[in-house]
Every structure is written in structure tokens, then in C-alpha cells.
Amino acid sequence: MSQKNGEDLTRERILDTAEVLFAQKGYRAVSVREITSAAECNLAAVNYHFGNKENLYLEVFRSRWVPRATRVRESFRKSLARQGSLSEAKVVRALAQAFVDGPLSDDERLRHSQLMTREMTQPTKAFKHVAEQVIQPFFKEVSDQLDSVLSNKVGEEQMLLNIFSIFAMVLYFNFARVAVSRLTGRKYDSAFRALLVEQITQFSLRGLGVEKMEEQG
């Protein structure tokens, strides 16, 4: 039997520790021995459960990264659903909040954007999966939401570039924590995260050409 009480503990422990280590150090810098040692299991467990190291990496994206991205996306959706009538400000703030101050813990958020940044700078086999299953649909959703509330309509390409611009900030303020903390002299506590959400929201709203601001949601 693959699992009796509904969970394969060793397999799950390997996935958890592997994700942390891959996010921190990158694929090549993490050895199978380091993973199995941290996961407190035998060296051969990785090859037994996942075939090889590369498959483990891909499985981390399938069973950890993608579900987490889905949580962020649903946080964004519910944030919008909570509002009665939508506006540019509400959509943008919901977006910034979902990524910078959303459902993820601080560690999760860091891991998440580290893995994503890694795949963006040097895509592996995981990228195609992530792009098609997560990024592209999400961008489409944000694009549609913004398009439905935006006062000054823009073309499809312009809309995409605008979303890129917003997304660039969201990603940057997550993965470049070290640099941001160093240069601002501020820790990444909840107060600073709230400030970053405000920064992304206001900067993006003006960037989108929204004239009148609304009060914070």
C-alpha cells in the first residue's frame, strides 16, 4: 500500500524540506543528502519516492508551489467578493494585499517568490507548467477584472504591460527583501508590509492613470 492512514509521512516530509532548501539555495546547491538528512529519512528515500532529484524538484512545484499560488489567487478573489461594487482601487489593493500581506506566512511568502524568481531568471522544466497553469490564467483574471472597472480603457498589450509593472513591484518587494531592508533600514514586520501594500497600491493606481483616489479598504 502506498499509504495506510491517508498520508505518506516520509514523502511529505521530503517535499516540505526540499522546498525550503531549494528556495533558499537553488537546485544545484542542495544535495540529496542534505534534504534526506533534514527530513530525517534515508538517503535512498528520494529516489524511491520520486525517482530522482529532478523529479523531486518538479514535484515541489506541482504539490507545493502551485497550491500555494492558488491560495494567493483565492485570497485575491475573496477579497474582491467581499466588496460590494468594485473599483480600480479595490482591485489593485486586493492584488497587492494578496501577495504582500496575504494568506501566506512570512516564510512561505519568501519561499514562494524565491522559487518563482528562480524560474523566471533561469526556467527549468517546471516553468512551462507554472506559466500555463498559474501565471497566464491569473494575469488573464487580473486583466479582466481591471478592464471591467477601468475608467480609461486601454488596448490589450498596454493592459498587459501595466499588469507587468504592478507585478514587478509585488515580486520585487518580496524577493529583494534583503536589499529593501538594508536600504530603508526597516524590518519586514506587519507595519512595513502594510506600508508596502499602500505604496504598491497608490503608485500603481496613479500609474494606471486613475485620477481620483479612494480611501483604504
Partner DNA sequence: TTGACATTTAAACGATCGTTTGATACAAAC
Partner DNA sequence: GTTTGTATCAAACGATCGTTTAAATGTCAA
DSSP 61: I
Residue 9 makes contact with DNA by CB under 7 A: yes
Whole-angstrom distance, CA of residue 115 vs CA of residue 119:
6
Contacts for 109 with CB less than 8 Å, ≥ 6 apart: 99, 100, 102, 174
Whole-angstrom distance, CA of residue 206 vs CA of residue 212:
9
Q: Please report, as residue ranges, which positions from 15 to 54 form the binding site for DNA (by CB under 7 A).
A: 30-34, 41-49, 51-54
Residue 216 makes contact with its own copies by CB under 8 A: no
Query: Helix or strand or coil: residue 74?
Result: helix
Residue 151 makes contact with its own copies by CB under 8 A: no
**Which CB atom, from 6 or from 84, has the smaller least distance to DNA?**
6
Residue 117 makes contact with DNA by CB under 7 A: no
**Which CB atom, from 3 or from 181, has the smaller least distance to its own copies?**
181
Contact predicate 64/19, CB 8 Å: yes
What is the contact mask toward its own copies in residues 10 to 49, using x (rule: CB under 8 A)? Answer: --------------xxxxxx--------------------
CA nearest neighbour of 22 among 151, 148, 110, 94: 110
Applying CB under 7 A, which residues contact DNA? 1-4, 8-11, 30-34, 41-49, 51-54
